[in-house]
Amino acid sequence: MSTPRNHIVVMKFGGTSVEDAKAIDRTAAIVRTRTEKGLSPVVVVSAMAKVTDQLLAAAAAAGKGDKMGALAISARLRNRHIDTAAELLDNEHFTALQPVIGNEFDSLDDLLRGIAAVGELTPRTTDNVVSYGERLSSRMVAAAFDQRGLNGIHHDARESIITDSAFGKAKPLTDKIEEKLVANVLPLIDAGKTPVMGGFIASNEQGITTTLGRGGSDYTGALIGGGLHAGAIEIWTDVNGIMTTDPRITSDALRVKTISFEEAAELAYFGAKVLHPATILPAVQKNIPVWVLNSRNAANEGTKIIAAAPPCKSPFKCIAAKRKLTIIDIVSSGMLMSHGYMKAVFDIFDRHKVVVDMVSTSEVSISLTVDSTIGLDAVIEDLSAIADVKLDPNKALICLVGEDIRGHAGISGQVFTAVSHVNVRMISQGASEINMSFMIEESDVEEAVRSLHKKFFANPDPDVFDVEARTAVQTEPATAKA
């Protein structure tokens, strides 16, 4: 294993942390606190808030042949970026950056015209369109850091983050990434620069643009942290850290002070949007602590994610909800007393590369859940050849994460009493010692989470949760973003 470079800190700023000139200015001030401590930051930025969704909308319009609609979205984005740069930068830096922004938008417009002309949108072209968000934000932030004396220098993430060719959700090639980071980024750090890179975007081995999937900038941050063997990875967002549940569901949510890698991975996978599920992996491999911090309230301690979290007296640390799930009920009398049936069913999911989240079985039926409709038609067709299949959409998974759920007697009774007014469709407990999950109607999510939160976080362990903040008000309300 490589030797840790403890002076390097990877700082990832999400869309809300770079949403406008004021936010980027705050970001620069936060980065300065690290350079003042003698640390060497590598900065990863997402697209400005909502830009990714708007680029996807432009791509979709172009794919339907609506050239004017696509170009209109692009024109609005062009104005937003130019206006932000004008507010953010002095004359010298703005004059240098304006043509760069202009060129990027000219090439985006050419791309959108091309898509509209053929009237077809592929995953590969979608990745190309959507990559402009991070390409632009990283250039703007680098210029702002340069002007503010932070020695900011732009590095195109696509030159260092190398993936396979699974457009839309590409898999990183970690050995290649490490090689590239050491060759491209380390010399910049050694020269006293602050490299600024776009998150989420990458390229395959042929140099074609790919992306790591929605919310993937956290993953970029972790890949860079792992590849450079940094001393810490910081995820800067718009809340005080990992909270006991999404603070948009209940304002009673409390900051979790410390959480284990394992617990954070479960939470992220089962819906806590604050962290991309893959973020933890590179950190675990090199035992790098990950911090989740608030760029609107930088003085707050945030949440530390480490290998082993301290003991917690409360049974749960967090409640996550994952929406937009579909339950698939598979019923067949052929399953009765037979072996190999499960294998046949799962082989079908495997063949069509459809990921299953939760499974529950009886003698003649299997219920399972999926979070994407991509590839689902083919799965249903193949399953229908061996069983009766029923789809039940608009479901949500509620996941309670805690360090030793099995060790708490009577815990299931307490959970289901708390949500006794909600129709529970599937339950899973026992597969993991730290997770208890169940499926409900999507429309019941808020009610169920609030009831569970009230039940399990009435007397939280002060060593683990920031109880003092219970009465404190957030610095600013969280805003909707993408």
Ligand X SMILES: Nc1ncnc2c1ncn2[C@@H]1O[C@H](COP(=O)(O)OP(=O)(O)O)[C@@H](O)[C@H]1O
Residue 237 assigned as binding residue: yes
Does 214 interact with ligand PHD (rule: CB under 6 A)? yes
Which of positions 6-25 make contact with ligand X (CB under 6 A)? Answer: 14-17
Among 199, 128, 202, smallest CA distance to 164 is for 202
Q: Pick from 248, 352, 408, 455: which binds ligand X (CB under 6 A)?
A: 248
Q: Which residue has the CB atom at the shortest distance from ligand X?
A: 14
Residue 334 assigned as binding residue: no
CB 209 within 8 A of CB 163: no
Burial class (CB in 10 A: 0-12, 13-18, 19+), 62: buried
Q: Which residue, chain included where needed, has tokens 């950056």?
A: 97
d(CA 399, CA 439): 9
Beta carbon of residue 193, minimum distance to ligand X (angstroms, whole number): 24
Does 15 interact with ligand PHD (rule: CB under 6 A)? yes
Residue 438 assigned as binding residue: no
Does 279 interact with ligand PHD (rule: CB under 6 A)? no
Does 254 interact with ligand X (rule: CB under 6 A)? no
Does 112 interact with ligand X (rule: CB under 6 A)? no
d(CA 269, CA 272): 7
Which of positions 193-212 make contact with ligand PHD (CB under 6 A)? Answer: 199-200
3-state SS record for 140-208: HHHHHHHHCCCCEEECCHHHCCEECCCCCCCCECHHHHHHHHHHHCHHHHHCCCEEEEECCEEEECCCC
Does 241 interact with ligand PHD (rule: CB under 6 A)? no
Choose the one of ligand X, ligand PHD, none that binds residue 402, judging by a C-beta under 5 to 8 angstroms depending on kind: none
Among 158, 171, 200, smallest CA distance to 45 is for 200
Residue 52 assigned as binding residue: yes
With CB under 6 A as the contact rule, which of the stretches 152-160, 240-248, 344-352, 372-380 interacts with ligand X?
A: 240-248
Choose the one of ligand PHD, ligand X, none that binds residue 200, judging by a C-beta under 5 to 8 angstroms depending on kind: ligand PHD
Which of positions 177-236 make contact with ligand X (CB under 6 A)? Answer: 215
Among 387, 398, 397, smallest CA distance to 361 is for 387
Kindly list the residues in this chain that would bind ligand PHD in the complex (CB under 6 A): 14-15, 46-47, 52, 133, 199-200, 214-218, 482
Kindly list the residues in this chain that would bind ligand X in the complex (CB under 6 A): 14-17, 46, 215, 237-239, 242-243, 245-248, 272-274, 318, 478, 481
